[in-house]
Structure formats: C-alpha cells, structure tokens
Amino acid sequence: MDGMKKVLTTCPYCGCGCRFYLDVMDREVIGVTPTTYSISKGRLCVKGWNAHEFIHSTDRMKKPLIKKGDEFVESTWKEALDFVADRLKDIKEEYGSDSLAVLSSAKCTNEENFLMMKFARAVLGTNNIDHCARLCHAPTVVGLTKAFGGGAMTNSIDEITRADVILVIGSNTTETYPLVGSEIIKAVENGSKLIVVDPRITPLAKLANIHLRLRLGSDVALLNGMMNIIINEGLEKKEFIEERTECFEELRKTVEIEKYTPEKVEEISGVQADDLNAAARMYAKAERGMIIYCLGITQHVTGTDNVLSLANLALLTGNIGKEGTGVNPLRGQNNVQGACDMGTLPDVYTGYQPVTDEEAREKFERAWKTPLPENVGFTVLEMMDAAADGRIRGMYISGENPMLSNPDINHVRDALEKLDLLVVQDIFLTETAELADVVLPGCSYAEKNGTFTNTERRVQLVRKAIEPIHGKEEWKIVCEVANRFGYEMNYGSPKEIMEEISSLTPIYGGISHERLESGGLQWPCPTKDHPGTKYLYENGFSRPEGKGKFHAIEYISPDEMPDEEYSFLLTTGRVSVHCNTGTMTRRSGTLNREVPKGFAEINPADAKEIGILKDQKVKVSTRRGEIIINVIITDEVPEKTLFIPFHFSEEVTNVLTNPALDPISKIPEFKVCAANIERIDDVGDR
Amino acid sequence: MMWEIDKRDILKWLKNLKRDFEVIAPVDVHEEVLFMPLSNDTEITLDYTNTLESPKEFFLPKTEEMFSFKKKGEDFKITSKIDDKKRVLFGIRPCDVNALTLLDEVFGGKYRDPYYFSRRENTTIVAMTCTKPDINCFCDSMGTGPSLSKDFDLLFTELDETYLVEVGTNKGEEILKLKKDLFKEADETRRDEKKRKIEAAKKRIKRHIDPFEISRKLKYVDDDVWRKLGERCIGCGGCSHICPTCHCFDVRDMSVDESGKRLRYWDSCIFSGFTRMADGVNPRETKESRMKQRYNCKFNYFFERYERFGCVGCGRCTNVCLGNIKMVEFLKELKVVILTENGKDHKKDERYI
C-alpha cells in the first residue's frame, strides 16, 4: 500500500473558489482535507467536504460510444475521433461553418475552454460558441459592461466583512454560495447591517435587519423606488456623480416621477413603503455599502435591466471603486467566470475582446495563422432554435447538460434530435449524452491540471491528484480532433496553453502557472510583476473617459403573469447539497442521500386551500408541460408562489419554465412563470 | 527514566524509523501543517499550533474498503482488507490522544472493530506536550491537555534547548532504542522546566467552560435556543468531519455486475439523511433537533456510556463552522429556565433528552 498523498486543488462546484486537498490512497481519492488557503480559511460547504465522492462512481463513462441504430456501441478512441472529425468536416463542407455550434463547459478548466474556443473559431470557422453563463449571468456580463466597462464582480469575498451595509438581492447565499454566506454572517456578527431582498424567507433573511419580501419580478420597481427616496432626501453622493459618472439626469427624470414613489412601488412590489424607506436610507448612508446579487436578479426577461438598476444604485451612492463596496454578482459554477474570460461566448475572444473589433480579430488571426469569422454567433437558446429549424446541423457539447438546464426541455429534445451530428463530451452519460451520436469520456477535476477562475476573478490552480480513471483530459481530446482537421494543436501541458492565453489576453497578461503555485491571482493582472486586482475601478471605470454610466430603466412586468388558468407564480432555484443538473452531486452518496428527490415548496395557506398534506404528490403544470412532485409546506415561500429546485431528472423542472428571453442578454426567464398546482387524489405512494 | 534529544536529531531519528515504519508526522505543506506520511521530499515541522485536522484518519480513514466481493457462478468470493502496516505517529497532541482513547471505547467493547484496532495496535504513539494552544482551544477545561500523563508510548516536550522524552510503554522504549545514541539521559531539573512550559501553555488558553455544569444545563435548554442555533447551522457537516471524537460512519457498496467492494466512510449527525428512514420518516428532521443531538452526544450521551465527555476541547469545530457558531460561547451563554422544582420539570427534562 502506498502512503497517503494530499494534493492541493480547487473545488469543482460553485464559484466561491474554495481550495482543499484531495486525499489519495492507492491511486484512489478517498477524501477531502480542508485548507486555510484562499477564501476557504479552513471551512468548506457540504459539497466541498464531499467533493471526492463522485470521482470513482461506477457510472463513469469508460470508453467512447458511437450510436449504431438506437444503441450505443463501445469504440476505440481512434474510431470515435475519426468519426467525429469526418462528420464535422462533412457538415462544414456541405452546409458551411455556421451550421456547426459548440457548447463549452463552465466545469472545465480555463485552458480547456480556451482550446474549445480556438477550435470553434479557428478550426470549425464559426463564432457559434456559448456556454451555460447564458443561463445564469449573461445579464451581468452585458449590464455591468454597459455601466462600468467590465462584466465581473467588482470587489472581493474577503471585503464582505469590511462593508457596513450589505444588500443581498436575489440570492439565497448560504445555500448556493455557502462560503460567501458565511462571510455575510460574520459581517453581521461584527455589526454590519444586512438588507435582504427576496420573496422567500431565506436563512439570511432571518438574520437581516430589513427583509424586503418583494413580488417576483418587481426588482426594477423596487430599486427605482429606493433611488426615488435617496434623491428626494438628498442622500445621493453629488460629488461622486459629478466627477465619475454620466447620464445622471436621465436616471433622475425616470426614478423621480410619480410612478416610483414608495407608495406606488408598494402597489407593484408588495413591499411596504416604510420598509423601503428604511432600506434606501440604510444603504445610502453607508460608509461602505456592498451589493451582492445572484440569479434572482439575472434570470428574468428584465435581467439586464435589473443589473443596470443595481449599477445605478451603486453609482448614485458612490458605493463602488473602494474596498467593501461594489456590485457583486455571485457566479454560479466553479469556472463560469473563467469560461467567459476565455471567450467561449459568441461575441468575444478571451478577455472580452469583441470579434467585431478588427484589431482584435487580426491579432487572433496572426496568432492562430488562419482567417476568423466576423459575424457574432448564436447564443445557447438561439442554437436550439436554429437546430430545430435546420440552420444548425452539428453540435459539439462539452460538459453541459441542456436537457436539464435549459428552459422548455421538450423543445430542447426536439432540437437536439433533429441534428445530423451531436457529439457530447462528459464524464457521465447525461440526459443530453443519451441523445448523442458520439459520446467521448472526459476526466473529472481530480484527473487534470489547469486553472479555474472564481467569482472574484481569482485564477487558481487545479492539480492532478490521480491519472485519468477512464477517459481523456478534455484539452487532449480537442487537440486530437483539431489535428484531424489538419490544424496543428500540439501542447505539451495546460501550462503551455496558459502561456498562449496570457500572450493574447491583456487581463491575464501576467498570469502563469508558475506564479499561481504560490497562490491565486485576481485579474486584471496585465504584467508579470502585477500583484492582481482586489477591487475594480478605484481610479476610474473601464469606459470612455473613465466614467460610470447611469441607465434610465422603466419597470416591465415578467413575461408571463398568473391568470385564471394558471394562478400561481412559479420560481426555480437550487439547494445546498446539489450542483445544477446534479450530474456529479446526484452520484455522490452523502449529498444525494441528503436531498434525494425534487420537491415543490408551497405556502400553508395555499396547501389548505387546495387540500394538500405534507409530502403528498401534486401535479404542477404550466403552458409548456407538467410534472408530478412532492410538496413541502412552508411559510418560507409567499402565498400563491411555488418554489421548485431544478436539479432532478426525475422531476424535470425545466419542462415548466418559460423560454421567453431578455432581449439584450438572451437569458431565459427561469425565475417567474405562471403555473397551476393540483392535488392528485391517488396518494397511495407518498 | 527520562531522556533528552536535540531538536536537530529528531529528524535523524524519524528518518531512521522510516526504514521499519510508516512515519506520520506534522508536515509543512504549502505553508500549513498537516499530518502526513513522511516521504523523501517532505519536511517535518516542530513549529505548529493545533493542526486543522486531527490524525483521526490514520485510524478511521475517510473512506475505507472493508472487503471486496466477486461473483463466481453461484458463489461469492469475499476478500477482506485489514490494514496492518506498522506506523509511528509522531507529534500528536494531548487532546487528540484523548480523542483516540475515546475512539478505543467506541470501537472496542463487545463488538471489537478489527479495522480500527489493527491500525491502532500497529501504531506507536509519540505524543507531544502542547506548548502552543490555538485561540479556540479549551482542553484545560476538559481535562485533556495541554499536558498528558498516560496513553502514550513516548511523550516529547519542547524545552528551551532540547526535547524531553518520557517513556510510557515498551512499544515506545523499542523505537527509542533503535537509535539510542541520539538520546541522552535527562536530569531531574528538566521536570521543573517541563512544568513551567505547561503552566505557560495553560496561561495561553483563553477559553474555559465547566463541562459538568453544561452537561446538567443541556437537559433543560429551551426549544427556542436550539431553533436559533439550527437557523445558524448551514448544514455543511464540517464540525463532525473535523472532530477528533466523531466516529459515525455509513456503509455503501460499489459494485458492477454483482462484483465490487464494500466501503465505509465518515458520516455526520448534522445530515438529515443520517437518521431518515426508508419511508422518509425522520426522527431528527429539523436542524435544531440535530444540533440538540450533537451537543448532547458530546456532553451527555458519551458520559452516560463511558463516564467521560465526548469533547476534548480542541476548538476545531469553531474554526470550521460556516455558520460562525462558536461552541464555547454558545455553551457559556446557555440560559436555562427551570419552572418549578416538582415532578413537572422532570417531564419537561425528558423531552429534551
């Protein structure tokens, strides 16, 4: 028996970016040891403590599969990769480059995302590349770029305890970003004031000084109301507005009008005028006011509007550009920030350099020695529509599971089934992989080297604890497919890929694996001797003349509101033990045991009205589909509102959700739709 | 007899021991201290406060294969896997030694756990008197540190110039003898020096509780207290993971085509799945009920079974708590309402147990 090894790496679950050691014994990962490194400070959430459990799952894909008839047949790597390359080439030749599309993975490393991006653009010749950020924080990238010039968390996690007022909006932080939640709890214990804006009574809401329980989707009205109060009472930071912002007059005209008085906002949002007054004053008077938000803000048809409103609020009160303040989106996946940074988006290369910018394009063309496409590509949902109507013929999906994660699943299935070629690269045979023509087994985070970038822009090393159990490291797979196209991709290691990334990406310019050995680096980190950037915009915004921009935003109601037929509001979200579509956590014994099945939360008043008992099964339906699911009766959800997590393939929540898109960022409205709930009288099997 | 060893010679001695044993020692990895098997490229450190994790995993691994099974026709072939590697555990603190002796009680008795005891009996315990307590330590209150008077094979204590070495058992004597020239006899004045070191360490311990008082109080705690504590718990299970006396495990089979292995792995009473039964009924459904279980396990149930407390005062659960629950502060602030002194509160009392 070999002695135990402990390998310091980065957690593969959420965007907190916790670090821990993987304990390796006899080439098996048997546990997790905490570390005082980085934001973790010895702590981990339930997923982190159990992050080793899925690695050796017997469900791991062992060999490449090719579908013959209706059955998957195991194949050799050579046969599978030849097949993939030949079929992609055929489609490219017959229908053109833009008939192909790539979904990259926020679970994979920066180096792998970079190669996937390069593969789509330089080898396939299309900008049709996107990833799940579209479904979580696309409005953040768009909105914060419009307002500040950069689409990322402005401040850092360890500054939370430095804020004297924290405004948490649309985030059940202790469940979904437990380490950030933990810092908020610490801040409150040290005397910081906490305002929580959420329709549900979240654990943080119970700790809050003020809990604004708004109606789903009324965020813009509520935020305009706060700004109305702040301006009326003269609490805005005039000097900051004068020196560092533009377009204030437009904002003032919009939020000052009758429509957004506290009383009017009460009618729209259900939040009492007094509470709104108190919250507005508390935030505006803060020395250091910090906004923390998540998908409750972004997953709306008004997602970008919501983000812009938060930016307005911070600019109005000067709560940005200094420590312990800012507008702080919590990025969902371990590397969703990195996947965006790496340009696996249809409109930008790495570091948000637009594909439509000639200078940027020429730089990449020179480096990659091939012409690159000029038009902006399709987003995730546009790809699905294009697949359904035949404009997209072939898709290469790496580590994503749209068959559970996208809205309106029935439409996704139709679209994917229409494709001439679907290639899926994953560690498990996911719901999406089952529809594929070829499945290529990848590797878990424990089996490869590379980097992840967490929510606070911190690039950290992922270290190989064990050799690949079954599959191949994703970056190697991509290289092998590219080489079959006659496009040379020969990298010795992820370290070499990072060298190429930093040479092409100013914000990553000073980042190398060598430097990361002694700890993470927060971008922008332009040069080899730059220490990284803890918080953004200290000396000006990344916009023309360094000015932050106000946007006048009007309240628009959600796309689908309750009516007689569908009288409930349905909202979706996550629980602490599961990660997104559950591909990993549902295969982790301890985690899956904790919450083994889906549930719908319903208020006791509604349960009585309909006649539902604890744990009883109900039918939840919307205009798009229906599911049968157990109920949990709790006053943590408001009346006439249902909350359902989306992790479970047995109860596919997203057959219910509304695919209506935010016109700017193209994110679907996961957080609100009209639904109906019915009792099923046959309650034999509870 | 007492011995002394020069600080620089400790490494020589351990290197020599590596020939016959796997040596587990505090190792400086990425500038923090973990208990790890010494290899050629690891460096032990003698300058450490309480390690983030105790060395519990070298007796009860986080995941352990109990046996493998293979189907052959109608028969199963079962191969058990008992770890009987000879080990020396160097540098374990008194709190963690006390935790080990508690685990001995749990895994011993009528149904002796062969996996645990094989490791336990094949490991020589070289303990280290604690001269550097952590900010959350309260071993002094629990009677589990900073000094140690028994349950070691060898005991080291850092003095001004050298380390004092006391022999507890023949097992300890034997590993000392393997390189006896590194040790010299210590005179009686060293005993006073050790005493001074321990007194100084005690003074550095800032947290104190009376476990007997807490044990009594816990029976009368109002529901509201547990509810509030439950609301603070984020359910990560870190307190159990990190606790040197938590020992609950679950068993799971990993198999394909009826062949595979049976694993046991660390579990936690913080999880609702820990007590949930097949039909979904759960006697400890709420976080508050699980909090109540945890504290009572440490301060009452352990005592009822083994006449000792199940907490050794290492403070690690406070260090890792996501909800920022500080065990000592919580226990010290426990307010108890006893309504009357007649039989009625006794009833109330029972509800809480």
Q: pLDDT tens digits, residue range B252-277?
A: 999 888 889 999 999 999 999 999 99
Binary contact (A37, B272; C-beta < 8 A): no
Give the closest-approach CA distance of A43 to chain B in angstroms. Answer: 5
**Total residues found in chain A within this entry:** 686
Which pLDDT score is estimated for A157? 95
Mean pLDDT over residues A440-447, rounded?
A: 95
Q: How far apart are CA A98 and CA A92, in angstroms?
A: 8
Helix (H) or strand (E) holding B172: helix B170-177
Which pLDDT score is estimated for B71? 87
Which pLDDT score is estimated for B350? 39
- Angle at alpha carbon of residue B274, lines to B272 and B276, rounded to 5°: 65
Binary contact (B266, A31; C-beta < 8 A): yes
Mean pLDDT over residues A580-586, rounded?
A: 85
Reported as half-sphere exposure (CB side, CA atoms, 13 A), residue A425 has a value of: 29
Q: pLDDT tens digits, residue range B34-89?
A: 999 998 777 788 888 888 899 999 999 999 999 999 988 888 899 998 999 999 99
Question: Does A45 reach chain B within 8 Å, measured CB to CB?
Answer: yes
State the Cα torsion A458-A459-A463-A468 to the nearest 10°.
110
Percent of chain A with pLDDT over 70: 99
- Most A CBs within 10 A among B17, B30, B31, hence the mutation to make, goes to B30
pLDDT above 70 for A235: yes
Helix (H) or strand (E) holding A522: strand A521-522
Give the closest-approach CA distance of A50 to chain B in angstroms. Answer: 10
Q: How far apart are CA B265 and CA B94, in angstroms?
A: 26
pLDDT above 70 for A104: yes
Which pLDDT score is estimated for A582? 84
Binary contact (A174, B234; C-beta < 8 A): yes
Distances from the Cα of A130 to the Cα of A134, A342, A354, A399, A405, angstroms: 7, 11, 14, 12, 14
Mean pLDDT over residues A359-372, rounded?
A: 96
For chain A, the domains span 77-133+335-522, 154-329, 568-679
The residue to which tokens 């020692």 are assigned:
B25
pLDDT above 80 for A526: yes
- Angle at alpha carbon of residue A57, lines to A64 and B247, rounded to 5°: 165
Confidence category of residue A486, pLDDT binned at 50, 70, 90: very high
Q: How far apart are CA A250 and CA A253, in angstroms?
A: 5
Which pLDDT score is estimated for A583? 83
Mean pLDDT over residues A328-353, rounded?
A: 94
Secondary structure (3-state) at A32:
strand
User: How many CB atoms neighbour CB B40 within 10 A?
Assistant: 6
Mean pLDDT over residues A401-417, rounded?
A: 89
Which pLDDT score is estimated for B337? 59
**CB contact residues (below 8 A), chain B span 22-81, against chain A:** 22, 29-30, 32, 34, 36-37, 39, 52-53, 57, 61-64
Q: Which residue of chain B comes nearest to A38, CA vs CA?
A: B30
Q: How far apart are CA A144 and CA A297, in angstroms?
A: 13
- Angle at alpha carbon of residue A640, lines to A635 and A646, rounded to 5°: 80
Binary contact (A34, B238; C-beta < 8 A): yes
Q: pLDDT tens digits, residue range A605-663?
A: 999 999 999 889 999 999 999 999 999 999 999 999 999 998 888 888 888 999 899 99
- Most A CBs within 10 A among B54, B62, B232, hence the mutation to make, goes to B62
Give the closest-approach CA distance of A154 to chain B in angstroms. Answer: 24
Reported as half-sphere exposure (CB side, CA atoms, 13 A), residue B274 has a value of: 21
Q: Is A442 left (phi over 0), alpha (psi -120 to 50) or beta?
A: beta
**CB contact residues (below 8 A), chain A span 539-558, against chain B:** none
What's the distance, Cα to Cα, between the start and end of chain A in Å? 47
pLDDT above 50 for A686: no
Q: How far apart are CA B313 and CA B137, in angstroms?
A: 6
Reported as half-sphere exposure (CB side, CA atoms, 13 A), residue A178 has a value of: 31
Q: pLDDT tens digits, residue range B3-36?
A: 999 988 999 999 999 999 999 999 988 888 999 9
Which pLDDT score is estimated for B323? 94
Binary contact (B53, A34; C-beta < 8 A): yes
Helix (H) or strand (E) holding A455: none
For chain A, give the mean pLDDT. Answer: 94
Tell me which architecture the domain covering A77-133+335-522 has in CATH.
3-Layer(aba) Sandwich (3.40)
Residues 6+ apart with CB under 8 A from B181: none
Binary contact (A1, B273; C-beta < 8 A): no
**CB contact residues (below 8 A), chain B span 134-173, against chain A:** none
A327: β partners: A291
Residue of higher predicted confidence among B225 and A239: A239
Question: Does A49 reach chain B within 8 Å, measured CB to CB?
Answer: yes
Binary contact (B238, A44; C-beta < 8 A): yes
Question: Does A58 reach chain B within 8 Å, measured CB to CB?
Answer: yes
Which pLDDT score is estimated for B74? 85
Confidence category of residue A107, pLDDT binned at 50, 70, 90: very high
Which pLDDT score is estimated for B299? 95
Confidence category of residue B353, pLDDT binned at 50, 70, 90: very low
Is the four-CA dihedral A279, A284, A285, A291 of positive or negative sign? positive
Which pLDDT score is estimated for B339? 54
pTM: 0.93
pLDDT above 60 for B345: no
- Concatenated DSSP letters for A605-639? HHHHHHT--TT-EEEEE-SS-EEEEEEEE-TTSPT
Binary contact (A36, B242; C-beta < 8 A): no
Q: Judge: domain A154-329, CATH 3.40.50.300.
A: no
A34: β partners: A20
Of A398, A392, A394, residue with least CA distance to A427: A398
- Most B CBs within 10 A among A38, A157, A590, A615, hence the mutation to make, goes to A590
Which pLDDT score is estimated for B338? 56
Tell me which architecture the domain covering A568-679 has in CATH.
Beta Barrel (2.40)
User: How many CB atoms neighbour CB A97 within 10 A?
Assistant: 18
Q: How far apart are CA A407 and CA A560, in angstroms?
A: 14
Mean pLDDT over residues A474-501, rounded?
A: 96
Burial class of A299 by CB neighbour count within 10 A (0 to 12, 13 to 18, 19+): buried
pLDDT above 60 for A151: yes
Mean pLDDT over residues A150-176, rounded?
A: 95
Q: pLDDT tens digits, residue range B84-131?
A: 999 999 999 999 999 999 999 999 989 999 999 999 999 999 999 999
User: How many CB atoms neighbour CB B253 within 10 A?
Assistant: 12
Q: pLDDT tens digits, residue range B281-319?
A: 999 999 999 999 999 999 999 999 999 999 999 999 999
Reading the block at residue A169, the tokens are 């909006």
Question: Does B222 reach chain A within 8 Å, measured CB to CB?
Answer: no
